Amino acid sequence: MAISNTMKFKVQTLIDVTQTNARRGEDRYEIMQQQNFLTMIQTLGLRVNPVFDQSPTIQTVSVDKLGFGNKYKGKHKVWTFYFEIEYADGLEESMLIDDFHIVPVIGDLDETIKDKDNRAFISKNQQSTNIIFEKVINNTVA
């Protein structure tokens, strides 16, 4: 859903944030994936009301030059999520980095990173950053 006078952001993470829409009483694994997705949305919602029309996509790609922590090399699953906010100057990447750092998530799902760093979003650690943010300007990453 595109809104006029908006700002678009791209989130990439090595944490499984698959949107399954699973609810209590359904498949437990899918519920945990959905909880991570909701944690991401709720953390974004600390400052803005994120607007999105597509679930996160998943690709296995080389992460060497994407901006994740230095310890992540080679190919990994990356969840990519785009969202918009209503006010073009209402949010900065630095705010997202602050908000997401060490927010707990459920680990050991479909991530290809299998260590203690998959139990929280880590956005301020040069070694183990597992979530990154970028402004999208004119449909290109800023």
Q: How confident is the model at residue 115 (pLDDT cuts 50, 70, 90)?
A: confident
pLDDT, mean of residues 111-133:
93
Three-class DSSP category at 24: coil
Closest CA to 35 of 55, 14, 17, 53: 17
Q: How confident is the model at residue 117 (pLDDT cuts 50, 70, 90)?
A: confident
